[in-house]
Amino acid sequence: MATLAANALITLDEFRDAIGIDASEAINEAKALLAINAASQEIEDYCCRKFIAPSSAIEEIFDGDRSKEYYVRHLRITETPTLYTLESDYTWDTLATTYEWGYDGDTGLIYLRDFVFWAGTRNWKVAYKYGWPRADVPDPVKRVAVQLTQRLIRLAEGREGEDSLSFGNTATTYNLAGHWTDGMKTAIQPYRRIAVG
């Protein structure tokens, strides 16, 4: 039986509510869960980031490059991070309080005020918490997750390339050849992290 993945951006109930399926109406839950999981992973891949907050802080090791700024891999930083330097005996030491530094949680920026990330290979480490609880994922991301889930279900049902489908007096048009629409990409663009290097 399919289950909701840890990185799923919406729940089955949120999906049902968003597409107007009452709790009493039948739905192929296994198919819907697989589509939710696939859509969530596609969104993470497209945005080059994770959205769902892990249960504990993660550690990220990086090279010092004599700059004053470092952007963490995952956004948004939710608690004050801890910054470490690699000592000559190859142990990690918390950056001394004599050094002034800060962070911007929304952009994932760690910045140094009066010194630089001194040069070295894998000589800096930051421990931080990121993301949102599933219930608090931003609405545009949830909306795209719902839309993408719907489109993946239609593709799984063999509707790929189908231009229109009529039910009584109503007709629905699908363009599933590229299941990401321009509108979906526009909605999620502010959450996209562009990887450099």
Q: Which residue has the higher pLDDT, 177 or 156?
A: 156
pLDDT digits (tens, 9 = 90+) for 36-83: 999 999 999 999 888 999 889 999 999 999 999 999 988 889 999 999
- Residues 120 and 147 both lie in one domain: no
Domain boundary (128, 146, 165) is at 128
Q: What are phi and psi of 178, to 5 degrees?
A: -115, 105
Name every residue whose Cβ is closer than 8 Å to that of residue 147 and which is 6 or more positions away in sequence.
181, 184
- Residues 143 and 165 both lie in one domain: yes
Domain membership flag for residue 7: no
pLDDT digits (tens, 9 = 90+) for 12-25: 999 999 988 877 77
Pairing mode, if any, of strands 120-128 and 82-86?
A: antiparallel
- Residues 26 and 67 both lie in one domain: no
- Residues 76 and 101 both lie in one domain: yes
So what's the pLDDT on residue 197? 45
So what's the pLDDT on residue 178? 66
Convert 10-42 to b/e letters by CB count within 10 Å (16 or more is b).
bebebbbebeeeeeeeeeeeeebbbbbbbbbeb
**Total number of domains in the chain:** 2
Domain membership flag for residue 155: yes
Domain boundary (110, 128, 146) is at 128
Domain membership flag for residue 2: no
pLDDT digits (tens, 9 = 90+) for 147-175: 999 999 888 776 555 545 454 555 555 55
- Cα four-point dihedral sign 132, 133, 136, 139: positive
So what's the pLDDT on residue 49? 87
Which domain CATH number covers 112?
2.60.40
Domain membership flag for residue 101: yes
So what's the pLDDT on residue 157? 75
- Residues 94 and 42 both lie in one domain: no
How many residues are there in the chain?
A: 197
Domain membership flag for residue 122: yes
From CA 139, how far away is CA 85, in angstroms rounded? Answer: 38
Structural domain range at position 27: 12-49+137-191
Q: Which residue has the higher pLDDT, 145 or 96?
A: 145
- Residues 43 and 66 both lie in one domain: no
From CA 75, how far away is CA 106, in angstroms rounded? Answer: 7
- Residues 141 and 84 both lie in one domain: no
- Residues 123 and 65 both lie in one domain: yes
So what's the pLDDT on residue 91? 93
- Residues 86 and 29 both lie in one domain: no
Question: Is residue 71 within 8 Å of residue 43, measured between CB atoms?
Answer: no
Question: pTM for the full model?
Answer: 0.75
Predicted confidence band at 2 (pLDDT cuts at 50, 70, 90)? confident
pLDDT digits (tens, 9 = 90+) for 107-153: 899 999 989 999 999 999 999 999 999 999 999 999 999 999 999 98
So what's the pLDDT on residue 160? 55
